[in-house]
Chains A and B, each alone.
Chain A
Amino acid sequence: MKKYSAKKDLKEWVARYTEDLYYRACYKISDNDLAKDLVQETFLVAAEKITTFKGESSPKTWLFSILNHKIVDYYRKKGNQPIQTEPETFSKFFDHDERWRTEKRPQDWHEEESNLLDDEEFQDVLKECLDALPSQWNTCVKLKYLMNKKGEEICQELNITPSNYWQIVHRAKVQLRDCVETNWFQN
C-alpha cells in the first residue's frame, strides 16, 4: 500500500483539488470569502490527519469529506440548515398557464450576434447582470466556462441532480435575458 508522505502529497493535492473544493464550498454556502477559509481549513485538517489516511478512498474523496464536515459544522454553528430557497421569480415571467407574461415576452433584439460579442458596452451590461444573479448559478457557470466541465461532471462536483442543475440554469438564464433586454435594448 502506498505510504503518504505529508508534505509532498499535500502540496500536490493543493495544486490539483483547490479549485474543485472551492467551487463546492461556494455552491454550498454562497459566500466566497468564507468558502476560501473553509478550503484552507480543509487542508490544515488534512495535514494533521494525513498519517491516518490509508488511501482506501481517493485523496479527492477524502478531502471532500473533510470539507463537508466543515460545511455541516458551519451551518450547525450558524444555527440553521443549508436550506436552498427557491426564489419566486418565475411568477414574474410566466402566468398561471405558464405562458410568457405580455410585458415579459422576449422581444426581437434586431442585433447581430457577432456585433454583440465585440461591443464593450454590451459586455459591461452583461457583466452587471451576471453579478446580480444568485451565486449558486455563478458557481455552475464558472465550472462550465472556466473549468470546461460537462453537465454530468458539474452535477458530480456540486453533488446535485441533473434536473436540479438545469432548473438552476433555466431560472438564472430567464432573469439574465430579462436584465440584458431591460438595460441594453430598451435604453
Chain B
Amino acid sequence: MKKLMHILFLSCLKASELIEKKFHFRLSFKEQMQLKIHKMMCSACTIYEKQSKVLDKSIEHHYKMLGKETELEALKKAIYKELSNK
C-alpha cells in the first residue's frame, strides 16, 4: 500500500518539476497520470502550472522583442577582423 501511494502521489516539488519538464520533453504515461492526480488534489500546483505557462509566454515574448543578439554580430565582426590580420 505504501508503495502504491508513493507511485500515485507526487510531492509538490516533484509535481512542479514535471510541469517544467513538460515544456521541453514529452512526459511518459505514468508521469502524465501522476501529475494529473496531484493537480486534482493540489490547488497550489494547479496555479503554479497556469502561471508557469504565462511566464513561458512572457519570456518568449521578451526575447522575440530583443531579437538576435547584436552583441553576437559584433563578435563575428571582431573575429573576421582578427582573422584577416593574420
Contact = CB atoms under 8 A, between A and B. Distances in A.
Interface in A29-51: 36, 39-40, 43-44, 47
Nearest to A33: B71
Interface in A1-56: 7, 10-11, 14-15, 18-19, 22, 36, 39-40, 43-44, 47
Interface residue range, chain A: 35 or more
Contacts of B75: 18, 22, 36, 39-40
Contacts of A99: 11-13
Contacts of B58: 116-117, 122-123, 126
A108 B53 CA distance: 14
B29 interface: no
Could you tell me the dominant secondary structure of chain B's interface residues?
helix
B83 A10 contact: yes
A125 B1 CA distance: 47
A142 B59 CA distance: 10
Contact of B59 (A7, A11, A145): A145
B52 A173 contact: yes
A168 B85 CA distance: 41
Contact of A100 (B12, B53, B86): B12
A74 interface: no
A117 B63 CA distance: 12
B57 A117 contact: yes
B78 A40 contact: yes
Nearest to A150: B24
A35 to B, nearest CB: 9
B4 interface: no
Which 9 residue pairs spanning A and B have beta carbons closest together?
A: A98-B11, A151-B24, A98-B13, A145-B63, A170-B20, A106-B47, A166-B21, A106-B48, A105-B44
6 contacts: A18-B79, A126-B62, A130-B59, A130-B62, A151-B24, A177-B51
